[in-house]
Each structure stands twice: as C-alpha cells, then as structure tokens.
Chains A and B, each alone.
Chain A
Amino acid sequence: MGNEYFSMTDIVKTYHVGDEDQMVLKHVNLTLEEGEFLSILGPSGSGKSTMMNIIGCLDSPTSGDYVLRGRHVGRLDQHELAQIRCHEIGFIFQQFQLLPRLDAIRNVELPLIYAGMGKKERMRRAEEMLHRVGLSDRMHHYPNQLSGGQQQRVAIARALAANPTLLLADEPTGALDQATGKQVMELFHELNEEGRTVIMITHDLGIARHARRVVNILDGVLSEGVSAYD
C-alpha cells in the first residue's frame, strides 16, 4: 500500500465528429495506488468508456500524461503496449466477449498463448483459474452452454490467467441479474483483498458503492466522490 499504481495528469481526449471536435475527457487528473478498489461512476456518454480504454492502453489520450507503474504510456510502441495489455491488465467486459467456438478452458487459455506460455503450463494455469472462480465442473462447456453469471466468471478467470496487476472491468454486472451480479461483486472483493488493484466502470451507484473509492465522471469532468448522485 502507498505505492503509486498510475497517475493521469491533465488528460484530454478529443474525438473528431464530422467537422467538430468533441472533447470527451476534459483535463482529467487521477492517481491510483496499488491495491486500491476504485469505481468510476458515470451515466452513458459521460466519457467513462474512454477512461477505461485509456487506462487499459487500448487508446491513447490526445494530450496529457499517463504514467503506468513508472512508464509513460504515450511513449510506448505497439509491441510494448501489447506487452502491458498482456501482463499488467486483465480486461472484463460487459458482454463477456468469450469466443463462442472455444470451450471455457480454451477461452481462459487465450491470454496465456499471447504471453508465450507452453501448452501444459497453460492448461494447468487455466484449470487453476477456473477452479478459483468456482467453475471446476464447467471446464469443457462452450459459452452457449453456460449461464450469464458463469460466462462472466469464465471471463474473470481469463482476465486473471496471466496474473495481471490490474483488473479492469467495464460494467461487469451490466448483463447479469441482481443475485448473480452480487456473486460477481463478491469475487471482485476477494480478488482485491488478495492484493490486486481493481477498477470497475459502471453507471450503477449501488454497484459502484462496492468499491472502497468512487470517482464520478460527468460530461468528461472527473471528480472525487459520488456527489453528483447525492
């Protein structure tokens, strides 16, 4: 605790829509410490997805400085960005994004292929991860044979597989019913308590409150706390 995980300084992201420039992130400053559990709360169109893409090194800011574990992301090339996505960040998406033609274990194995791990080691690790999320009995089921909650747990196992330092979840409960959503949140808590940094992006205040720290984003402006909702 106490070590800086990343810092964002004066981040601006502008999209060109037609002839107009649309500023989606307006001079955002955010610092995150290792081991934190942060929620980024905002309604749709507020810029929270853009935040996630920039944090996850899937997109680069128009201006501003983003330093992730001591590295200036803006100065990294394609290869280095891929390495960060591979080893540092575990993505979890609202629509799970499992590959339908692969069974659970092979979905979980996927990031390990890109991490360059050998086949035996990959299978062992993928099994371990599925066991961790409580799906030991569903290893060879295909996504369409699994419930939404199970699919999201496979996705979480996949995000965990390469042992990333940060879990980055985009509306992880958005496609789940309340009870299942709650189970997934409990899993997040456990993972956070194990020492993993977790960032969750959501529009749901109830879900956001699971995190120890909540920041609020509205029209591209980031502010600490949930004031806008109170």
Chain B
Amino acid sequence: MIKASLSMFRENVNMSVTNVLHNKLRSFLTILGIIIGVAAVIAMITTVSGVTGEITSQFSALGADKFNVTVTGTRLKGGLTTQEVELLSGLDNISAVSLSVSSTVAAKNGSEWSEKVNMEGRNTVYFQKNEELIERGRPLTILDEEQKTRVCLISSDLQKKLFYGEDAVGQMLYLGGHSFTVVGILSTSTRDVMAQALGMGPNEKVIVPYTTAMRLNNTAYIRSLEVFVEDISRMEETIDSFEQELKAVFNGHDDTYSVINMASLMDTLDTITGMMSTMLAGIAGISLLVGGIGIMNMMLVSVTERTTEIGLRKALGAEPGQIQLQFLIEAFILSLMGGVLGAVTGVLLSMLLSSLINTTFVINWGAIALGVSFSAVVGLVFGWAPARKASRLNPIDALRAA
C-alpha cells in the first residue's frame, strides 16, 4: 500500500513536471511574481545583514569592550579623586581604566607660541590601548605618572607651528608657563585629517601625565574615564556594579555621572537594522503573496482547461483525493521552481549590490531557506482551492465539456 502510494506520488510529480514544462511561457509568467518576491527577500536580507555586519565590526573596532564615564560631580565634589579611580579600577571584570584630564593652555617655544592648545592629561593605559598613537619617541610611563614629571607628547601640527617642522623630540617647550620636555610626536589620525578637511583648523594638542595635568590645573578631580572590561558578555552587570560604586562615592546622587556603553549603542543599531530587515521582508512578502495569487489564477485556468482530463481520470478510477493531490503537487512544483529561480536571482543580485556598496558578500543560507520555503508554502496555500475544485468536478460534466 505504501509502495503503491509512493509510486502514485512519483507519477503525480512526473505528470506535474510534464504539464508545467508543456506551458513554458505561461508557467514562467505565472511564477515571475514568486521569482521577484523570493529574489527581493534574499537580496534585501543578505544586503542588510552585510551592511549591518560591516557597521557592527566598525563599531566594535571603536571599542565594544569598554564603556565611557563622564563625571559632572556635585558643587562640593567636582569629580573623582585618584584614590577613587583606583578603587573603581579594582572592581570585578575591569581590566584597565584610561582617564583624561582636559584643559586648554598656551604653548610657547622661543618666539613661537600658540595661545590655545588642548592639553590632555593621560595615564599609561591610554597608550597601551592605542598602539598607533605615537609616530616618534616614547609613551608616558608609570614613572612619569608617579613623579608628575614634566614631559609631553605633541601633535605634528603643533610641531610644525612651534618647531618649524624640525624634530622636536628632546626639545623644551613651555606649557602654561612651565617648562616641559617633548618625549614624543603623536601620529596624525584619520580624525585629524578629516577635521582639517572640514576646516576645523590644525590639531594643536599636547599629552602630559594626568598627575602633572592635575597639578597644573590645580584640581584634585578626574572627570572622564574609559573603562575596559575583561569579559564583554558580562558588560551589563559590570556597568551596573560600577554605577553602584559611583553612586556610593557621590553619596547616593545618581545625577552626577553618565555612562555611555558601546554595546548598548550596538544593541540600538541591531534593533534598527532588525526593524529594517523585517520591514523589507514584509514588502517582499507582499510580492510573494501577489505571486501566490498568480499561481492560484493559473491553476484555476488549468483546472478549467483540463476539465475533460479530470473527468477521464475519474472514469479511469482516480479518487477525488488523487486528483486533488495531482493539482496540489503541480502548484507546489510551480511555486518551488519560482522559489529556486528566485533564490538564484536573489543571490546574484546581492552579489552585485555588495560589490556596488563595497561590503563583503556572504551567502545567507537562512534567507535562501526562508524565501524558498515560503514560496513553497505559497504554492500549497494558493494551489489548494483550485485542486479542491478539480477534485469535486463531476466526471460526466467534466467529460461532456469536451
């Protein structure tokens, strides 16, 4: 019995393929809607996920393993002390804390001077985490930090201005009236080039040990931290406990600081792109729906055209269920063909798109599976009604229609 129905099934598939291929042009036009729908689904999902991947990797290059803390403090306590920062650094899952003390000073070398130079007080972590920071010379060391030495690294723009472009390493420089030794030149970053292109003027910047900067500014407080974590997956809880500690430091005032987390930014990004994919897939889904209606139309026409054939088959002993199965299989094969052709088109299309917008192309099997299986389902759903109609034809009426 099973063997018989299997053989019947195979015959049905054969007959369906014969019928579909017999009406090549009509079959093609019918499944065009499905082809376009599936191609659109695959191209959209592949492209969006490619772009998302690109953006995500760029974002994580910016630092998915860290969060930034800006402290505004209270009127009495304007930031964190060095001891407090050390305390916070000792929390679980925190690998390092890079901090910055910013101010503006006047810089002078001989008769050349610059009135407003950005002075950043940094610690050694900053140099460890940004390896391409230095073009020439040496980074700041623990010794510099501890002894509040008067050394600095200057940007190449500043070198150009104060030292006529000559090598400044080892030279003396006056910052806010104090003499400093230049120990390194900062490399020009992409951001500097961009800022200059945007007409924001030269990047005049010096980096000094943060302890030195605090003494120079006459402040005991640090207001900006970059906190690096060990285990990214525990980012949320690390931030939570960090905030708890900060709150305690500020006697329960939680409006004295803000925490910005790259991971939560990326979450937001994910949500946005997810919504975008869903929307695009929805639009493509409508196209599949329209394609399904096309299939239903062709199947109804086919049932009408083949009324005699249906009658004959019934006279030869076909049961209604077998007739229904035959037409259902035909609709299924038709839409599956559409799905496969659509998948091929979609992959080619997304290859083209990815080369146009310059993202790396990865075949998205999930999208292909989604498109093809959805099209097959469309065939079954929209083929069902015509198949049922065929199965219910009265054999005499069917034969008489000839």
Contacts and interface: CB of A to CB of B under 8 A. Distances in A.
Interface of A: 53, 56, 58-59, 78-79, 82-83, 85-87, 91, 93, 95, 97, 99, 101-102, 110-111, 113-119, 158, 162
Contact of A97 (B4, B7, B320, B399): B399
18 contacts: A58-B315, A59-B394, A78-B319, A78-B320, A79-B319, A82-B318, A85-B316, A86-B316, A86-B317, A86-B318, A97-B402, A101-B22, A110-B316, A111-B317, A114-B8, A114-B316, A158-B316, A162-B317
B271 interface: no
Contacts of B315: 56, 58, 85, 91
A58 B314 contact: yes
A58 B7 CA distance: 26
Q: Which of the four size classes fits the interface of chain B?
A: 20 to 34
Contacts, number: 70
Contact of B8 (A93, A111, A113): A113
Contacts of A118: 3-4, 7
Given A113-B8, A116-B4, A87 B19 contact: no
Given A95-B402, A97-B402, A119 B7 contact: yes
A165 B5 CA distance: 25
B312 interface: yes
B274 interface: no
A52 B394 CA distance: 15
B231 interface: no
Given A82-B318, A113-B7, 9 more contacts: A56-B315, A91-B315, A99-B309, A111-B316, A114-B318, A114-B319, A116-B8, A117-B4, A118-B4
A110 B396 contact: no
A27 B314 CA distance: 27
Nearest to A162: B317
Nearest to A98: B312
Nearest to B316: A111
A117 B10 CA distance: 12
Nearest to A158: B316
Interface string B299-311: 0000000001100
B202 interface: no
Contacts of B3: 118
A86 B7 CA distance: 17
| Among A82, A85, A99, residue most surrounded by chain B Cβ atoms (within 10 Å) | A82
Contacts of B7: 113, 116-119
A108 B61 CA distance: 71
Contacts of B10: 119
Interface in B351-402: 394-396, 399, 402
A91 B1 CA distance: 25
Interface string B1-31: 1011101101100000011001000000000
Contacts of A78: 319-320
Contacts of A86: 316-318
Interface in B272-329: 308-309, 312-320, 322
Nearest to A79: B319
A86 B11 CA distance: 17
Contacts of B313: 110, 114
A59, A99, A101, A113 interface centre (most CB from chain B within 10 Å)? A113
Top 10 A-B residue pairs of the complex, sorted by shortest distance between their CB atoms = A86-B317, A116-B4, A114-B317, A111-B316, A82-B319, A85-B317, A58-B395, A91-B315, A97-B312, A114-B318
Nearest to B5: A116
